C-alpha cells in the first residue's frame, strides 16, 4: 500500500495541514519542522499523487547540479541527497540531472557552464571554483535570466541568485576557538591542511581560523595551508614531511577532505596533537570514538540538497522564498555527542 499524507504526518509528528504546507512550498513552516516532514517522506517513500499535482503544473522544470567528483565523502553524500530529494519532486514536474566534474578544476566547470544551451534547463546549482572563467560563465547565465545557486563554496553575491551553505568564516572561527582551548596555553604552531585555496569556502575558513588565533590565542601560530586536493595520499605525504621538519606543531586544522591521509600520518608519527576536521563521515565518526581526532565541524548535506532544490523551484516559478528557512548552520561533534 502506498504511503499517504496521514502516514507522513504520523511519522513526522505533525498535523495534516503542516504536511500540506510543506508539500505546497508555503513559508509558514519552521525549518526544523520542514526537515522532519521531508525526512518522514523520504523514509516512507512517499510520492505525491501525480494526477493531482499535474492539475496545477504548467511546465516541466529541469535543473542541473554540477558537483565535484572524486572520493570526497561529503560530496558523495550531497550527491546522494540531491538524487533522493529530487525523486520526491518528480510528480510536481521537476527533473534533476547531477553531473560530476573533476574537483578543483575551474576549466572543467567553465566548460560545463558554457555548454548549457538556452531552453535546456531552468536553473543550475554548482559548487563554485572562484576563477575569472567561472565568474564570466555564471555572469552569462545570469544575463540570460537563468537562476544560478551556489552550493558549499560561493561566488560574489552579485553573480548568483542565492548561496546554500554554512557561514565558512564562522566555521573557521569555531575551529580556531576549539583548537585554542584544546591546546590549553601551549606555545607552538598549528598545521593547516586544505583541499585547495581556489575554493572560497576553504579560503574563508582559513581566514576565520587565523582571526581567532591572532585575537585570542597569540601563543599559537597558524602555518601556511597545505593543499592536499582532497587526496588522502597527498595529505599523508605532505603532512608527514611537515611534521618531520617542524618540531613544534601542537595542533592540526583540516579544512577539507583527505583526512584518511592525515590520520595515517599521525599514526606513523606517534604522539598526537589536537586535531579538528570538517564533515562527519563514517571514518571521522570512528576516529572520534578512537581518540584519533578531537572535534568535527559538520554541515548537513541533506538540508543543503533540499534547500538548493526548493530555492531553484521558487526562483524558476518567479516566487519569493524564505531565506531563513533555507539557512544551513554548523554542528560541532565531540566523542561525547555523536548522533
Predicted structure pTM score: 0.81
Say if residue 278 is in the same domain as residue 156: no
Quote the number of domains for the chain.
3
Q: What is the pLDDT of residue 101?
A: 97
Question: Does residue 222 lie in a domain region?
Answer: yes
Say if residue 230 is in the same domain as residue 284: yes
Say if residue 311 is in the same domain as residue 232: no
Say if residue 155 is in the same domain as residue 246: no
Question: Does residue 154 lie in a domain region?
Answer: yes
42 Cβ neighbours under 8 A, 6+ residues apart: 84, 85, 88
Say if residue 133 is in the same domain as residue 252: no
Q: What is the pLDDT of residue 33?
A: 85
Pairing of the two strands 331-333 and 220-222: unpaired
Distance CA 28, CA 196 (A): 39
**CATH code where residue 26 lies:** 1.10.260.40
Q: How many CB atoms lie within 10 A of CB 324?
A: 9
The cell numbers describing 54, all together, are 499535474
Question: Does residue 243 lie in a domain region?
Answer: yes
- Give the domain range for residue 159: 61-165+301-328
Residue 224 DSSP class: P
Give the pLDDT mean for 2-21.
81
Say if residue 184 is in the same domain as residue 290: yes
Give the pLDDT mean for 286-314.
94
Q: What is the pLDDT of residue 20?
A: 77
Say if residue 305 is in the same domain as residue 294: no
Q: How many CB atoms lie within 10 A of CB 233?
A: 12
Q: What is the pLDDT of residue 319?
A: 77
Say if residue 118 is in the same domain as residue 239: no
Say if residue 179 is in the same domain as residue 233: yes
Q: Do 133 and 106 touch, CB atoms closer than 8 A?
A: yes
CA atoms lying within 13 Å on the CB side of residue 165: 27
Give the pLDDT mean for 286-292.
95
Question: Does residue 54 lie in a domain region?
Answer: no
Give the pLDDT mean for 283-304.
95
Asked whether the predicted pLDDT for residue 50 surpasses 70, the reply is: no
CA atoms lying within 13 Å on the CB side of residue 79: 16
Question: Does residue 337 lie in a domain region?
Answer: no
Question: Does residue 339 lie in a domain region?
Answer: no
294 Cβ neighbours under 8 A, 6+ residues apart: 178, 182, 274, 275, 276, 288, 334
Asked whether the predicted pLDDT for residue 93 surpasses 90, the reply is: no
% of the chain with per-residue pLDDT over 70: 93
Amino acid at each position: 500500500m502506498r504511503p499517504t499524507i496521514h502516514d507522513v504526518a504520523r511519522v513526522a509528528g505533525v498535523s495534516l495541514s503542516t504536511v500540506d504546507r510543506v508539500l505546497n512550498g508555503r513559508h509558514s513552516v519552521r525549518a526544523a519542522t520542514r526537515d522532519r516532514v521531508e525526512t518522514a517522506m523520504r523514509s516512507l517513500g512517499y510520492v505525491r499523487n501525480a494526477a493531482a499535482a499535474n492539475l496545477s503544473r504548467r511546465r516541466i522544470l529541469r535543473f542541473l547540479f554540477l558537483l565535484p567528483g572524486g572520493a570526497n565523502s561529503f560530496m558523495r553524500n550531497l550527491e546522494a541527497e540531491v538524487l533522493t530529494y529530487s525523486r520526491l519532486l518528480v510528480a510536481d514536474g521537476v527533473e534533476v540531472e547531477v553531473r560530476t566534474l573533476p574537483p578543483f578544476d575551474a576549466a572543467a566547470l567553465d566548460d560545463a557552464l558554457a555548454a548549457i544551451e538556452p531552453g535546456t534547463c531552468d536553473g543550475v546549482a554548482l559548487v563554485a571554483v572562484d576563477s575569472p572563467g567561472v565568474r564570466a560563465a555564471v555572469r552569462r547565465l545570469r544575463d540570460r535570466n537563468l537562476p544560478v545557486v551556489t552550493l558549499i563554496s560561493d561566488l560574489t553575491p552579485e553573480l548568483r541568485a542565492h548561496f546554500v551553505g554554512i557561514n565558512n568564516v564562522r566555521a573557521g572561527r569555531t575551529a580556531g576557538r576549539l583548537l585554542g582551548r584544546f591546546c590549553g596555553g601551549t606555545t607552538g604552531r598549528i598545521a593547516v591542511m586544505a583541499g585547495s585555496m581556489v575554493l572560497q569556502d576553504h579560503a574563508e575558513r582559513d581566514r576565520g581560523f587565523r582571526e581567532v588565533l591572532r585575537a585570542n590565542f597569540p601563543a599559537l601560530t597558524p602555518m601556511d595551508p597545505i593543499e592536499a586536493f582532497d587526496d588522502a595520499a597527498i595529505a599523508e605525504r605532505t603532512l608527514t614531511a611537515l611534521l618531520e621538519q617542524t618540531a613544534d606543531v601542537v595542533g592540526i586544522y583540516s579544512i577539507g577532505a583527505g583526512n584518511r591521509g592525515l590520520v595515517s600520518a599521525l599514526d606513523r608519527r606517534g604522539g598526537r596533537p589536537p586535531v579538528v576536521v570538517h564533515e562527519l563521515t563514517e571514518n571521522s565518526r570512528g576516529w572520534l570514538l578512537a581518540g584519533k581526532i578531537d572535534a568535527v565541524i559538520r554541515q548537513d548535506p541533506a538540508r543543503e540538497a533540499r534547500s538548493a532544490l526548493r530555492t531553484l523551484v521558487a526562483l524558476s516559478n518567479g516566487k519569493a522564498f524564505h531565506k531563513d528557512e533555507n539557512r544551513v548552520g554548523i554542528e560541532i561533534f565531540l566523542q561525547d555527542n555523536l548522533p
